[in-house]
Chains A and B, each alone.
Chain A
Amino acid sequence: MQNPTQAPLLELRKVTFSYEQRAKPVFEQLDFSFPGNRMGLIGDNGSGKTTLLHLLVGLLKPTTGMVYFQGNPIQSDTDLVQLRRSVGMVFQQADDQLFCPTVLEDVAFGPLNLGQTSRQAKATALEVLQLLRMENYIERITHTLSGGEKRMIALATVLAMNPKVLLLDEPTNDLDRTAKNRLLTTLQALEIPMIIISHDWDLLSKLADGYVALENGKLTFSEQMEIHNHKHAHPMGSHTHEHQHC
């Protein structure tokens, strides 16, 4: 998968990290590189998936070790700002991500920070909302949106910055089937590398082309999904669904 002539998009080298209040480090001497595919990141609750994403974009600072973006080490605050502008992160709770009073203001926040004028930022916001077919929501007050709508707008706020990478932290959490399918279709159509944290195998099988499992602070890569026997309920009546076996 990894192209040797090209530096990985995001990389951790020998990163050790621990939260202060906990004695045991979450990661010790961890190496991770993200080549730029659609990578599913799986692991149990509390295994450090979100921590890993936050380390990649400098929201958390490694105790030792370095973060690299497109082969360049992230050292100064300027590097950090540059990195964060290029990486779009969709947070677990959309309410945390949508902090402006109206949808328009929220989607325009990123473009304004990138230096666009008010007029350009509005145009960008409208364009992205149209892409996601959410243009009718432009005047809406953010906190009155439903969970699914909030998730779509959260995605819009990130896409408005034209990111090189998307980091999705449990994007389908709490979504009903309709909202989930809508998000899935939208994400499938995007040609942006992404790392997807999810417990939702259905989503991962349709979206990801490689997997990383996180267990006890160690990463295990597998590029294809393994054959597995499984049982699950189909509460909405019988319907066929594909499993991508290799």
Chain B
Amino acid sequence: MQYSGYTLTSGNSQSKLLNSPLMERVDARLKIVTAGLLSLVLASSQSLSCLLAGLILAVVYCILGRLNTWWVLKRLLSLNLFILFLWLTLPLAKTPSPPVITLGWVSLYKEGLFLAMIITMKSNGIMLFLMSLIGTLSIPELCRGLQQLRVPSRFVQLLGATYRYIAVIKEEYQRLYQAALLRGFVPGTNLHTYRTYGYLIAMTLLRSKIRAERVHKAMLMRGFTGIYPMLSPDSPAPPGATPLSLLLFSSTFLLLTLLSFFW
């Protein structure tokens, strides 16, 4: 199981690969908006040239962001495992045009193959853009950026709390699971197993709720009144970095939009 928040940090703030001013020291809001817009263009485009350009540019972004290659490949792998199923099913869909290949009982059709390719390009492009833009933000930066973009405070708090507590909840679940194992629990395909898993999950949920109440009390004791205050960043982006990034981001957006409409 992967917890994106957990690994984001280990890839970002702990093993710092920083100091690419174009990507690193840019206002979080700009990155979030850019990531949103670029994803939107790629998601809605049917143009091959736009998708191809998007894919290439996304790789360039990752290089500019100095992302760890293994880190990127690992994430792309899990995404593409999912997409593999589309390749296995979509080309089988029968269309009026003649099949491209027929292997005994199985016929593959052009439309399905094309669709699978487009989806692959789109999702990989979007994923790479997200990794280079959002993945280079720490969770506090991301939360602050979202809050400044007027995303409702509850959602931002939810994100921050999830990041903080998902590891705690996982530990709690594992403790319960180990306790079950130590008492001779062997998972199988039977009602006893399902019931035990049901108990474990229910108990984890219940404990999380009780924990949430305790956390809320702790927040109240430190003067929380509904608004989550945030620290501003230590080192604001140096002058020059932001206009340059703005130029890069907006030209990427323009190029992809134009390609998507005209080619």
> Which A residues lie at the B interface, using CB under 8 A?
54, 57, 59, 81, 84-85, 87-89, 91, 93, 95-102, 104-105, 108-110, 112-114, 118-119, 121-122, 139, 141-143, 157-158, 161
Out of B139, B218, B223, B229, name the residue touching A99 (CB < 8 Å).
B218
- State which of B117-125, B160-168, B240-248 sits at the interface with chain A: B160-168
In contact, B220 and A59 (Cβ under 8 angstroms) = yes
- A143 to B160: give the CA distance in the assembly, Å: 13
In contact, B231 and A118 (Cβ under 8 angstroms) = yes
In contact, A101 and B215 (Cβ under 8 angstroms) = no
Given known A-B contacts A99-B161, A105-B140, A113 and B220 have beta carbons under 8 A apart: no
Out of B13, B140, B168, name the residue touching A143 (CB < 8 Å).
B168
Out of B168, B220, B231, name the residue touching A95 (CB < 8 Å).
B168
In contact, B229 and A112 (Cβ under 8 angstroms) = yes
Complex: chain A residue closest to B140, CB-CB: A101
Q: Which 6 A-B pairs have the closest CB atoms?
A: A113-B223, A112-B229, A110-B222, A96-B214, A118-B232, A97-B218
Out of A57, A99, A141, name the residue touching B215 (CB < 8 Å).
A99
Verify if B219 is at the interface (C-beta below 8 Å from A): yes
A157 CB contacts on chain B under 8 angstroms:
222
Verify if B221 is at the interface (C-beta below 8 Å from A): yes
Q: How far is the CB of A237 from chain B (nearest CB, A)?
A: 33
In contact, B223 and A84 (Cβ under 8 angstroms) = yes
> Which B residues lie at the A interface, using CB under 8 A?
9, 13-14, 138-140, 160-161, 163-165, 167-168, 211, 214-215, 217-225, 229-232
Given known A-B contacts A101-B160, A101-B164, A141-B9, A93 and B140 have beta carbons under 8 A apart: no
A84 CB contacts on chain B under 8 angstroms:
220-223
Complex: chain B residue closest to A110, CB-CB: B222
Chain A, interface SS category: helix
In contact, B225 and A81 (Cβ under 8 angstroms) = yes
Q: How far is the CB of A59 from chain B (nearest CB, A)?
A: 5
In contact, B223 and A96 (Cβ under 8 angstroms) = no
Q: How far is the CB of B153 from chain A (nearest CB, A)?
A: 14
A93 CB contacts on chain B under 8 angstroms:
214
Q: How far is the CB of A135 from chain B (nearest CB, A)?
A: 15
In contact, A104 and B231 (Cβ under 8 angstroms) = yes
Complex: chain B residue closest to A104, CB-CB: B231
B138 CB contacts on chain A under 8 angstroms:
101
B160 CB contacts on chain A under 8 angstroms:
100-101
Beyond the given pairs A99-B218, A157-B222, 14 more chain A to chain B contacts, judged by CB atoms under 8 angstroms and listed by A's residue number, are A59-B221, A84-B220, A85-B223, A87-B221, A89-B218, A91-B214, A96-B214, A99-B215, A104-B231, A105-B230, A121-B231, A141-B9, A143-B167, A161-B223
A141 CB contacts on chain B under 8 angstroms:
9, 13-14
Q: How far is the CB of B157 from chain A (nearest CB, A)?
A: 10
Q: What are 24 A-B contacts defined by CB distance under 8 Å?
A: A59-B217, A85-B223, A88-B221, A89-B218, A97-B215, A97-B218, A99-B161, A99-B219, A101-B140, A105-B140, A109-B219, A109-B222, A109-B224, A110-B222, A110-B223, A113-B223, A118-B230, A118-B232, A121-B229, A142-B164, A143-B168, A157-B222, A158-B221, A161-B223
- A118 to B234: give the CA distance in the assembly, Å: 10
B14 CB contacts on chain A under 8 angstroms:
141
Complex: chain B residue closest to A99, CB-CB: B215
A97 CB contacts on chain B under 8 angstroms:
215, 218
- A161 to B224: give the CA distance in the assembly, Å: 12
B232 CB contacts on chain A under 8 angstroms:
118-119
Complex: chain A residue closest to B212, CB-CB: A96
